[in-house]
């Protein structure tokens, strides 16, 4: 039920004005929100991180579960409708001989033939504070093949490798040799080959989402920084051809298209819009209130093949303290939110009505 909002100060008025301007720049209707938590959380936190279609209206959703009072996480895979009536499975990277895996995070699913699934993410071991990337292929129950994905050393010590997303025959993610600078990779599963994704002028870059456009053509989404090594300033889309192993049509995006001052814009998830363009989600940080939030965006593919201008919809779970947009399937944004006074992180689904 709608309730009138009392504006208490100028900052609040500015925040509401900004949201009104952003909403008015789209023809999207009101967003519908619902909590989507791992049912056995029992006071723990649910982090939703990735989603892909599984056929027949069902989806695969990856995530992590953090038990109450613990900093370690367990991997989650959900299969079913986006109403929470499907099946949840806890999946953790198997501990190698002599070493204990202490934490697993699953970040991206993709369906395979014969009801199998491919999953990517990361894990930590008891003998190190750093993340190893992971790749899983097989039945949704975790009985298939688990593989470590660590970016190969290039004369430097690789600290962390995190696999964020997979589709077609590729995996994208991040690695670092210096904790202040993020570097992105593309991994070819069939060829077992690695390529560092570089953008001219970028000091730090991420690769969080990938969409298979067909054949050897892919679209990668993430963020990059030109001004400092400690943060990501702009979101980006780029075409990738797996045969030539070359990027093209780098295009930068800032939340709100310049209508407000934004320090950080980052794409976390990407999906096709069935018209050659893309729906995306992610997070932004502003210079003036409202200072941070999540978004849903639509980027059309232009007749010449270029990426078009983004249309933005703010995403904020009702009465939440903070909302993050982590992944997207069709017009459904999945992510997490927190409420004031609680350390519990909740998952959510936001349905954004879009023009057809």
d(CA 176, CA 144): 29
pLDDT at 61: 99
How many whole angstroms separate alpha carbon 323 and alpha carbon 319?
Answer: 10
Count of positions (residues) in the chain: 356
Q: What is the pTM of this model?
A: 0.91
Strands 74-80 and 101-112: unpaired
Q: Peptide bond before 146: cis, by omega within 30 degrees of 0?
A: no
> Among 110, 108, 111, which residue's Cα sits nearest to residue 120?
108
Q: How many Å apart are CA 36 and CA 48, to the nearest integer?
A: 8
d(CA 344, CA 183): 30
The pLDDT, as a whole number, for residue 230 is 56
What's the mean pLDDT when you consider all of the chain? Answer: 90
Give the mean model confidence (pLDDT) for residues 54-78.
96
Q: What is the DSSP string of 154-176?
A: SSS---EEEEEEEETTEEEEEEE
What pLDDT digit, counting tens, does each position of 188-198 carry? 999 999 999 99
Q: Is the dihedral of CA 301, 305, 309, 314 positive or negative?
A: positive
Which of left, alpha, beta for 213 (phi over 0: left; psi -120 to 50: alpha)?
alpha
Strand partners, 292: 285
Give the mean pLDDT of 91-102. 95
Position 57 pLDDT exceeds 60: yes
Q: Percentage of residues in the chain with pLDDT exceeding 90?
A: 82
Q: Comparing 116 with 23, which gets the higher pLDDT?
A: 116
Q: Express each pLDDT in 332-349 by its tens digit.
A: 999 999 999 999 999 999
Residues 7-48: tens digit of each pLDDT: 233 333 333 334 433 443 444 559 999 999 999 999 999 999
Structure tokens given for 157: 């010590």
What is the pLDDT, as a whole number, of residue 258? 84
Nearest by Cα to 277 from 332, 199, 333, 330 = 330
Distance CA 48, CA 106 (A): 9
Q: What is the pLDDT of residues 246-295, one digit of tens each?
A: 999 999 999 999 888 899 999 999 999 999 999 999 999 998 766 899 99
Q: Give me the pLDDT at residue 29, please.
A: 58
Q: Encode pLDDT of 295-342 as tens digits.
A: 999 999 999 989 999 999 999 999 999 999 999 999 999 999 999 999
Tokens of 171: 């995996």
Read off the pLDDT of each residue in 215-231 and give the average, rounded to a whole number: 86
Gap between the Cα atoms of 304 and 331, Å rounded: 25
Place of tokens 């002599």: 98
Lowest mean pLDDT among 22-31, 129-138, 156-165: 22-31
Architecture of the CATH domain 10-351:
6 Propeller (2.120)
**pLDDT reading at 125 higher than 80:** yes
Residue 232 has pLDDT above 70, yes or no: no
Which residues fall within 8 angstroms of residue 153, CB to CB, at 6 or more apart? none
Name the band, by pLDDT with cuts 50, 70 and 90, for residue 228. Answer: low
Cβ 271 vs Cβ 231: under 8 Å: no
Provide CB contacts within 8 A for 88, sequence distance 6+.
Answer: 38, 39, 40, 76, 77, 78
The confidence score (pLDDT) of residue 229 equals 53
């Amino acid at each position: 039920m709608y309730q009138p909002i009392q504006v208490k100060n100028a900052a609040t008025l500015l925040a509401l004005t900004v949201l009104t301007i952003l909403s008015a720049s789209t023809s999207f209707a009101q967003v519908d929100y619902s909590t989507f938590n791992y049912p056995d959380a029992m006071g723990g936190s649910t982090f939703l991180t990735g989603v892909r279609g599984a056929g027949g209206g069902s989806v695969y959703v990856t995530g992590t579960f953090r038990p109450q009072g613990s900093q370690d996480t367990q991997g989650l895979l959900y299969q079913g409708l986006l109403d929470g009536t499907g099946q949840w499975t806890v999946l953790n990277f198997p501990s190698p001989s002599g070493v204990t895996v202490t934490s697993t995070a699953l970040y991206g699913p993709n369906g395979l033939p014969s009801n199998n699934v491919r999953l990517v993410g990361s894990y930590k071991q008891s003998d190190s504070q750093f993340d190893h990337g992971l790749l899983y292929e097989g039945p949704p129950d975790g009985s298939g093949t688990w593989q470590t994905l660590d970016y190969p050393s290039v004369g430097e010590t690789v600290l962390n490798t995190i696999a964020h997303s997979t589709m077609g025959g590729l995996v994208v993610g991040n690695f670092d040799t210096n904790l202040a600078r993020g570097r992105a990779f593309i991994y070819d599963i069939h060829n077992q080959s690695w390529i560092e994704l570089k953008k001219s002028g970028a000091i730090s870059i991420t690769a969080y989402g990938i969409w298979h456009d067909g054949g050897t053509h892919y679209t990668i989404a993430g963020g990059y920084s030109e001004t400092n090594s400690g943060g990501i300033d702009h979101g980006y889309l780029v075409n990738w051809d797996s045969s030539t192993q070359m990027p093209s049509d780098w295009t930068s995006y800032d939340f709100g298209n310049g209508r407000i001052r934004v320090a950080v814009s980052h794409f976390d998830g990407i999906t096709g819009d069935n018209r050659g363009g893309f729906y995306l989600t992610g997070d932004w940080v502003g210079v003036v209130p409202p200072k941070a939030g999540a978004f849903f965006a639509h980027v059309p593919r232009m007749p010449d093949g270029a990426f078009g201008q983004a249309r933005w919809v703010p995403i904020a779970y009702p009465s939440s303290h903070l909302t993050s947009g982590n992944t997207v399937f069709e017009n459904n944004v999945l992510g997490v939110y927190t409420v004031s006074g609680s350390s519990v992180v909740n998952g959510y689904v936001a349905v954004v009505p879009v023009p057809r």
